[in-house]
């Protein structure tokens, strides 16, 4: 019967497609596919339209939500039927039905009417499950091991509970979190595939729990739960100098299992003083330092019901039973992704056995090997080899990145760590006498499971490698929080790095929920006076805050997310935090000038060792602070406009004028020269519109002159770099922007690529041309900040952008700008509406542009032309085509508007 229904559905969809009928699919709830653990009262629902004609728009929709998928089609037991709503909105439509209940699953469908008034069929059924909405829904208590724990090496405790499920099970949901990290099992099987849970948040106010449908793991009769804890971010070593216990010294578990029986009754099994505890094979586990596993200490079958636990200790109820900070998890958890095999195993000049995985990645190595009981194999991890080809770990500072596995000696054993991760390309193997081969090792990349959305490629292979490096920088540093680096004793949520990269990040992957979660931590860790920490979650001191370009993450990231995803609710939630930050600066300013306090400035700008001719590009720090003061104020105004806060718009617009006037007075000569004659100074002043219109052109020329004076090299640091090429292309110097992008010698984006980089480096010269390294105290080879050029590659080279007043790609801009020596470039972006594509090539004097626009959006396309030449679409002049609206065709450019569909444009160039 089920098969028949499926077949009918397939046929129906096929014929509907063939008939040109609009279809609805790709349903998302809170930006995720069939999520569990929703704790908002009005989840946001999105869907995509598709069909094979052009210009498809939605004119109306109908949503229905019920408590079973059956009830939907029968229209019975619905908790919401929106009725036919005349609206074109297909993204972030708030649920508007009856109140939603804790832990309940809801099923939903949508159908739409297109621009011709034609109804689609109902979409496939999607679902979501609510989290625990009320504090009282938590029956579980926080528990800690019942034995005295070794406070130095802190072996991972095991927790165990057995119970009888007396009746037939309908469904079961587990809600789990920890102070520390946890890995849970039911009847010997791992619960879910999320890693490093519960993730990292500002634990004191926000601790995520994860929710799992475990119906399939349970059985009628005897069941067992087993949970292992690690110290994780909660009490593990964090920040430099081996400090630890940032949130507390005692790891603890909170576990609740809600079972629904087929007879309608419910049973709750939760962590309480009936549980047992012991230790197992994990002797030591620290994020920075790695894990030690002694397989001989493994308690075989310890999470099965039949295991004999009479030697185990009991547990103790935690002295701190607080549950008020518990929140559902909104972002995608960390998961295991790409596997890598060693591409080479070799002996270094120093005589060490080293494996090369070919990619600097973040994750761990799984080992499958035989050894004698009590023998061990030790893996140490490094990003690079030194000048002589030796294994180099100095830049890891105190982070040991070392996993030790001790064999139990009963055949092939499989090892991998649990509560740590390593940043590496090379792995040194010691302590093992047997032969090793690539078959014994697999490295897995771990990162937050954000859907991949963007792809960029072009005719220059070095730029393609740069794009690869940007993507891998993002993978490695989007591990539940956006970190600066993933390998040394740092790995913190540095705010400048995050803001600088956030827009690029939103091209490469769907980072909406990832940043929405982090921004809540930004707000949570914001000081009462509005200052924003250097790192979030804040594990530095209470006064490590308020640096320009760092703290502005509080305004920049929400705005960038709004542009990319148009989730107004996120702006609304962050608005108080945005405003508090601007107000903090206002409080620190005198005569509208913010020139006090500590600031990192244009971090890691061009600063050669042989600074004999004064070439270092030092930008006045307070010139920078003033630019960010203006920028944050501007973004606050933008947000206030979107949210209809007219009084704020008026107030901050007036303030912004004064900020800019103060800037002019303090930092700009009457003829428009800035007091710091650096690229970053001009870039920030121009990008944030600090100068009046009539001074901008000359300022851009000074920037160009500056670039030329460095023989066509950039000299910018963390703050200037993201906007450098944008400013150049915006002010008519596209050629200079391309020259910088394609520059291969230091400092440039391609210099590391030429040096064999597979990720973005922290410093332009992390490894010098003679293969010696920059200072080991700060020299990460996986640091995404300079990867912010990715945004320019998508937005200018392939020209894919969103209109700011129709964000989230509701109204798309396709404005490819060929240049440099590129003969071809191609970009795709998966948006909430569907795929956008812009792919161009220059061929025999022709500019060929293939464009794809998703349904329910429009795109304004800019095509470069020669001498006012015409643009053809599939062989016909654009001006003659009904479904293309020509807006303008001047000497250099043709401009038109299109709706959804695929287009093939050509013009002579
Ligand atoms: C270092 C890192 C980080 C930067 C701070 C100021 O720890 O380079 O990326 O933001 O310094």
Q: How many CB atoms lie within 10 A of CB 264?
A: 7
Evaluated on CA atoms 524, 525, 529, 531, the torsion sign reads: negative
Out of 9-13, 343-347, 474-478, pick the least confident: 9-13
Distance 484 CA to ligand 1 centre (A): 7
Angle, in degrees to the nearest 10, between helices 721-730 and 679-687: 70
Q: Give the separation between CA 570 and CA 514, rounded to whole angstroms.
A: 12
Question: pLDDT band at 241, cuts 50/70/90?
Answer: confident
Q: Can you tell me the distance from the alpha carbon of 84 to that of 267, in angstroms, rounded to the nearest whole number?
A: 40
Residue nearest to atom 3 of ligand 1 (CA): 484
**Nearest protein Cα to ligand 1, atom 9:** 484
Q: What is the pLDDT of residues 203-235, one digit of tens each?
A: 999 999 999 999 999 999 999 999 999 999 999
Distance separating alpha carbons of residues 894 and 150, to the nearest angstrom: 72
Atom of ligand 1 nearest to the CA of 495: 10
Q: Would you give the DSSP letter of residue 281? A: S
Pocket test for ligand 1, best of 395, 603, 779 (most atoms within 8 A of CB): 603
Q: Which of 494, 551, 601 to mutate to test the pocket of ligand 1 (most atoms within 8 A of CB)?
A: 494
Ligand 1 centre from 165 Cα, in Å?
52
Structure tokens at 51: 């069909």
Q: Which residues pair with 105 in a beta bridge?
A: 129
pLDDT interval class at 15 (50, 70, 90): low
The pLDDT of residue 611 is: 54
**How many Cβ atoms from other residues are within 10 Å of residue 751's Cβ?**
21
Whether cis (ω within 30° of 0) applies to the bond prior to 757 is no
Helices 693-709 and 721-730, axial angle in degrees (round to 10)? 120
Choose which residue among 484, 499, 533 to substitute to test ligand 1 binding: the one with the highest number of ligand atoms within 8 A of its C-beta.
484
- Structure token pair of residue 426: 């090379």
CA quadruple 409, 413, 418, 423: dihedral positive or negative?
positive
Pairing type for strands 858-864 and 811-814 reads parallel
Indicate if the pLDDT at residue 71 is higher than 90.
no
Best residue for ligand 1 mutational test, from 396, 546, 604, 718 (most atoms within 8 Å of Cβ) = 718
Q: Catalytic: which of 183, 332, 490, 774?
A: 490
For residue 603, name the pLDDT band (cuts at 50, 70, 90). very high
Among all chains, which residue has been given the structure tokens 């952008």? 801
Compute the distance between CA of residue 565 and CA of residue 832 in angstroms, rounded to an integer: 8
Catalytic site includes residue 490 = yes
Of 540, 522, 632, residue with least CA distance to 577: 522
For ligand 1, the distance from its centroid to the CA atom of residue 395, given in whole angstroms, is: 14
Report the range of poorest mean pLDDT among 389-398, 612-621, 622-631: 612-621
Q: Tell me how far apart the alpha carbons of residues 430 and 433 are, in angstroms, rounded to a whole number.
A: 8
Confidence of residue 271 (pLDDT cuts 50, 70, 90): very high
* Catalytic residue of the set 291, 383, 762, 873: 762
Do the strands 126-130 and 36-38 form a parallel or antiparallel pair, or are they unpaired? parallel
Q: Whose CA is nearest to atom 6 of ligand 1?
A: 600
Query: Ligand 1: which atom is nearest the Cα of residue 783?
Result: 9
**Under a CB-based contact definition with an 8 Å cutoff, are residues 827 and 811 in contact?**
no
Mean pLDDT of 527-553: 97
Q: Indicate which residue's Cα is closest to atom 2 of ligand 1.
A: 484
Give 550 Cα–ligand 1 centroid separation in angstroms.
Answer: 10
Distance 490 CA to ligand 1 centre (A): 9
pLDDT computed for residue 242 by the predictor: 84
pLDDT band at residue 1 under the 50/70/90 scheme: very low
- Choose between 657 and 11: higher pLDDT: 657
The minimum-distance atom of ligand 1 relative to the CA of 780 is 8
* CA–CA separation, 877 and 744 (whole Å): 41
Question: For residue 378, which phi and psi values (nearest 5 degrees)?
Answer: -115, 130
**103-136 pLDDT per residue, tens:** 999 999 999 999 999 999 999 999 999 999 998 9
* Averaged pLDDT for residues 364-387: 98
Domains of the chain: 2-129 (2.60.40.10), 135-282+299-331 (2.60.120.260), 335-448 (2.60.120.260), 454-796 (1.50.10.10), 799-908 (2.60.420.10)
**C-alpha 207 chain-centroid distance:** 19
Element (H, E) at 679: helix 679-687
3-state secondary structure of 582: helix
- The mean pLDDT of 372-376, rounded to a whole number, is 97
pLDDT confidence bin for 607, thresholds 50/70/90: confident
Which atom belonging to ligand 1 lies closest to the Cα atom of 496? 10
State the distance from the centre of ligand 1 to the C-alpha of 774, rounded, in angstroms: 15
- Two tokens at 448? 């937050």
Q: Is 663 exposed, middle or buried (0-12, 13-18, 19+ CB in 10 A)?
A: buried
- Residue 123 DSSP one-character state: P
Residue 273 in tokens: 């003083």
- In DSSP terms, which residues pair with 590 in a beta bridge? 593
Asked whether the bond before 187 is cis by omega within 30 degrees of 0, the reply is no
Mean pLDDT of 736-747: 97
**Ligand 1 atom nearest to 485, measured from its CA:** 9
pLDDT tens-place string over residues 138-177: 999 999 999 999 999 999 999 999 999 999 999 999 999 9
* 205 C-alpha to ligand 1 centroid (Å): 25
Q: Which atom of ligand 1 is nearest to the CA of 490?
A: 7
Mean pLDDT for the chain? 96
Q: Is 762 a catalytic residue?
A: yes
Ligand 1, CB within 6 Å, residue ranges: 484, 490, 494, 496-497, 600, 603, 762, 778, 783
Nearest residue (CA) to ligand 1, atom 10: 494
In sequence order, what are the beta bridge partners of 294? 406
- Backbone phi, then psi, for 271, in 5-degree steps? -65, 130
Using the mean position of ligand 1's atoms as its centre, give its distance from the Cα of residue 481 in Å: 15
Contact 41, 99 (CB under 8 A): yes
For the segment 429-448, what is each residue's pLDDT rounded down to a tens digit? 999 999 999 999 999 999 99
pLDDT of residue 16: 53
Closest ligand 1 atom to 785 CA: 9
What's the CA dihedral at 587, 591, 592, 594 to 10 degrees?
-70
760: three-class secondary structure by DSSP: coil
Ligand 1 centre to CA of 13 (Å) is: 52
Confidence of residue 708 (pLDDT cuts 50, 70, 90): very high
Share of the chain above pLDDT 90, in %: 95
Confidence at 20, pLDDT banded by 50, 70, 90 = low
Q: How confident is the model at residue 75 (pLDDT cuts 50, 70, 90)?
A: confident
Q: Averaged over 490-513, what is the pLDDT?
A: 98
Residue nearest to atom 5 of ligand 1 (CA): 494
> Which residues in 844-871 are b (16+ Cβ under 10 Å) and which e?
eeebbbebbbbbbbbbbbbbbbeeebbb
- Bridging pattern class, strands 326-328 and 207-213: parallel
509 bridge partner residues: 452
């Amino acid at each position: 019967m089920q098969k028949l229904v499926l077949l009918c559905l397939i046929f129906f969809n096929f014929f509907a497609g063939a008939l040109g009928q609009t279809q609805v699919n790709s349903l998302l709830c809170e930006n995720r596919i069939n999520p569990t653990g929703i704790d908002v009262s009005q989840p946001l629902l999105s869907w995509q339209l598709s069909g094979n004609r052009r210009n498809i728009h939605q004119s109306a929709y109908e949503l229905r939500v019920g408590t079973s998928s059956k009830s939907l089609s029968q229209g019975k037991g619905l908790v919401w039927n929106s009725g036919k709503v005349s609206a074109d909105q297909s993204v972030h439509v708030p649920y508007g039905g009856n109140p939603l209940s804790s832990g309940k699953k809801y099923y939903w469908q949508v159908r739409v009417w297109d621009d011709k008034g034609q109804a689609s069929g109902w979409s496939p059924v999607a679902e979501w499950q609510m989290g625990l909405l009320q504090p009282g829904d938590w029956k579980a208590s926080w528990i800690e091991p019942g034995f005295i724990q070794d406070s130095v090496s802190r072996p991972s405790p095991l927790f165990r509970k057995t119970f009888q499920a007396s009746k037939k099970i309908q469904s079961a949901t587990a809600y789990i979190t920890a102070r520390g990290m946890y890995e849970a099992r039911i009847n010997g099987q791992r619960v879910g595939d999320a890693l490093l849970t519960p993730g990292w948040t500002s634990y004191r106010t926000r601790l995520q729990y994860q929710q799992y449908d475990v119906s399939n793991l349970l059985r009628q009769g005897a069941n067992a739960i087993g949970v292992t804890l690690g110290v994780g971010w909660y009490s593990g070593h964090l920040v430099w100098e081996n400090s630890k216990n940032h949130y507390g010294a005692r790891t603890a578990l909170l576990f609740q299992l809600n079972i629904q029986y087929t007879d309608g009754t419910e049973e709750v099994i939760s962590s309480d003083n009936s549980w047992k505890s012991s230790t197992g094979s994990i002797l030591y586990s620290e994020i920075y330092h790695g894990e030690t596993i002694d397989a001989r200490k493994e308690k075989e079958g310890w999470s099965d019901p039949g295991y004999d636990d009479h030697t185990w200790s009991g547990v103790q109820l935690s002295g701190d039973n607080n549950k008020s900070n518990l929140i559902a998890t909104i972002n995608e958890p960390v998961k295991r992704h790409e596997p890598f095999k060693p591409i080479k195993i070799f002996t270094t000049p120093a005589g060490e056995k080293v494996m090369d995985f070919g990619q600097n990645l973040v994750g761990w190595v799984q080992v499958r090997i035989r050894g004698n009981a009590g023998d061990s194999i030790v893996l140490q991890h490094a990003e690079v080899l030194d000048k002589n080809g030796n294994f180099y770990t100095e830049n890891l500072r105190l982070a040991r990145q070392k996993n030790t596995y001790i064999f139990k000696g009963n055949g092939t054993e499989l090892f991998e760590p649990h509560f740590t991760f390593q940043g590496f390309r090379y792995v040194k193997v010691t302590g093992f006498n047997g032969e090793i081969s690539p078959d014994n090792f697999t490295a897995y990349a771990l990162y937050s499971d954000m859907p991949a959305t963007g792809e960029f490629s072009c005719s220059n292979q070095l730029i393609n490698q740069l794009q690869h490096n940007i993507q891998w920088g993002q993978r490695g540093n989007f591990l539940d929080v956006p970190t600066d680096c993933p390998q040394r004793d740092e790995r913190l949520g540095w705010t400048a790095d995050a803001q600088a990269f956030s827009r690029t990040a939103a091209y490469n992957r769907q980072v909406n929920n990832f940043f929405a979660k982090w921004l809540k931590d930004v707000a949570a860790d914001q000081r009462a006076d509005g200052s924003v920490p250097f790192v979030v979650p804040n594990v530095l001191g209470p006064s490590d805050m308020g640096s320009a370009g760092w703290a502005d993450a509080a305004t920049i990231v929400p705005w960038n997310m709004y542009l990319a995803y148009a989730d107004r609710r996120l702006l609304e939630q962050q608005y108080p935090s945005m405003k508090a930050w601007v107000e903090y600066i206002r409080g620190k300013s005198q005569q509208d000038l913010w020139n006090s306090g500590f600031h990192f400035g244009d971090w890691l700008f061009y600063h050669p060792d042989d600074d004999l001719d004064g070439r270092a590009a030092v930008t006045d720090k307070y010139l920078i602070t003033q630019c960010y003061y203006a920028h944050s104020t501007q973004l606050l105004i933008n947000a206030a406009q979107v949210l209809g806060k007219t009084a704020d718009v008026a107030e901050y617009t007036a303030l912004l004028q004064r900020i800019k006037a103060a800037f002019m007075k303090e930092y700009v000569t009457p003829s428009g020269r800035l007091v710091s004659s650096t690229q970053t100074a001009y870039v920030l002043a121009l990008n944030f519109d600090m100068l009046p219109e009539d001074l901008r052109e000359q300022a851009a020329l000074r920037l160009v002159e500056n670039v030329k004076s460095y023989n066509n090299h950039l000299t910018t640091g963390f703050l200037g770099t993201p906007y450098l090429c944008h400013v150049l292309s915006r002010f008519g110097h596209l050629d200079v922007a391309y020259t910088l992008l394609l520059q291969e010698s230091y400092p440039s984006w391609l210099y590391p690529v030429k040096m064999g980089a597979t990720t973005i480096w922290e410093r332009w010269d992390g490894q010098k041309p003679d293969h010696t390294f920059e200072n080991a105290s700060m020299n990460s080879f996986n640091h995404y900040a300079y990867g912010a050029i990715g945004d320019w590659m998508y937005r200018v080279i392939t020209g894919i952008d969103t209109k700011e007043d129709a964000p989230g790609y509701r109204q798309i801009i396709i404005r490819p700008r060929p240049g440099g020596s590129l003969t071809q470039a191609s970009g795709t972006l998966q948006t909430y509406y569907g795929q956008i594509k812009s792919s161009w090539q220059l061929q025999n004097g022709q500019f060929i542009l293939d464009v794809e626009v998703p349904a329910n959006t429009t795109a304004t396309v800019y095509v470069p032309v020669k001498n006012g030449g015409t643009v053809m679409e599939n062989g016909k002049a654009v001006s003659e085509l009904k479904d293309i609206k020509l807006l303008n065709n001047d000497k250099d450019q043709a401009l038109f508007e299109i709706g959804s569909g695929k287009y093939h444009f050509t013009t002579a160039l």
